[in-house]
Chains A and B, each alone.
Chain A
């Protein structure tokens, strides 16, 4: 058994010394040290979805301050959200309803300069779920940078 013990000890020691790193990182598209605050609006001020997006941005984004009022923030995020209801009938005659959400966003600074534009899409089984999932995708765009 001594030989087996020695084998495990050598394999373990060799593996310990062979520890390699693995690093997860994310580089943000926005310089959050320069643009620290943002105001968000969905569909020109839809209260429910705007509140939801603000909450998501506070949770995951790199902005220090997220608000609805555009006056005092460094940048302004405008989102146009659209949820399309698609009804289809399969070969057995069953009707299936799918919800396809899409969101176009524009991020501008105080002078109106466009800093970032883009679009996100998602699909779900209810109208509200689809809208929220699509807004989640928009908030993900502004994910805080990390390096772990």
Chain B
């Protein structure tokens, strides 16, 4: 059910992104300047699956920890507050496109040497850095802000992710590096138990190190989607320094750039092959649930 809800959100988001065509001059010239806006994701596209999940999950999860006691609540609250207060720099392209007036600025006269340097950098970085007085000023003012950056052939992103796992806190850094189509993801996430276990003395159970190689069927300045395969190594040093489990898995992730250099992302993963004793979607009582895991996070770095 969770997978279907996530798939619905991902599909609708991808459809809206595809429909928006951020850099389509043909659509812009025709006046069709619809652009993906945060409201779209917070509106019907997300509301329906969220309500669906609410109706399905709540009666089934009476044993679930109270949300107010869950550390994940703190993480989500911190993410919301941070994004609310610090990520306001990203203005939707539509709002810029709706402003018909070019923004004029007063520029002090430049010396000939400075002017030459400015022209040189303009050739390197693009027409938006053209010297003052150029006829391109008005056109540049209408361009969405994400077009002001030169496209990067390779991306390096650093982030923090929080696994939404029951009875354990799994969180840690994530690094991804790649180009337009292929990306390598490195993750390291320590595991801490909420409650002390009878089997180990410490609440620190171990850590998860993983490497995934993904393909990117969708990648533009706002949204990235990654699908791929990889392996995970679960080192259970809380049990024994020699104790570990391994798994080969598949994962899908969706990254949404809410700011110029900030993005939020969600990852859904499952294990295709795993060691004995590594039960994804398995409760300590032995009951089985969905063999998948969701994690959310925030990342910084370059975008396409």
- Interface of B: prevailing SS: mixed
Q: CB of B70 within 8 A of chain A? A: yes
Q: A24 contacts B277, CB within 8 Å?
A: yes
Distance A144 CA – B38 CA, assembled complex (angstroms) = 51
Interface centre among B67, B239, B240, B245 (most CB of A within 10 A): B240
Q: B80 contacts A20, CB within 8 Å?
A: no
Q: A22 contacts B164, CB within 8 Å?
A: no
Given contacts A3-B37, A4-B83, contact A18 B50 (CB under 8 A): no
Partner of A147, one of B76, B199, B296: B199
Q: CB of A53 within 8 A of chain B? A: no
Identity of the chain A residue whose Cβ is nearest the Cβ of B168 in the assembled complex:
A22
Distance A12 CA – B2 CA, assembled complex (angstroms) = 13
Interface residues on B, range: 35 or more
Q: Contacts of B83 on A, CB cut-off 8 Å?
A: 4-5, 8
A9-27 contacts to B, CB under 8 A, are 9-27
- Interface of A: prevailing SS: helix
List the count of A-B residue pairs having beta carbons below 8 Å apart.
155
Q: B42 contacts A60, CB within 8 Å?
A: no
Partner of B277, one of A4, A7, A15, A27: A27
Interface residues on A, range: 35 or more
Q: B234 contacts A24, CB within 8 Å?
A: yes
Identity of the chain B residue whose Cβ is nearest the Cβ of A60 in the assembled complex:
B240
Q: B164 contacts A15, CB within 8 Å?
A: yes
Q: A146 contacts B266, CB within 8 Å?
A: no
Q: Contacts of A21 on B, CB cut-off 8 Å?
A: 165-167, 279, 281-284, 289
Q: CB of B5 within 8 A of chain A? A: yes
Q: CB of B229 within 8 A of chain A? A: no
Q: Contacts of A14 on B, CB cut-off 8 Å?
A: 5, 46, 49-50, 53
Q: Contacts of B61 on A, CB cut-off 8 Å?
A: 17
Interface residues of A (CB under 8 A from B): 1, 3-27, 60, 136-137, 140, 143-144, 146-148
> Could you list 14 examples of A-B contacts with CB < 8 Å?
A3-B43, A11-B266, A15-B72, A15-B76, A15-B296, A16-B72, A17-B53, A17-B61, A22-B278, A22-B281, A25-B277, A27-B277, A140-B240, A140-B243
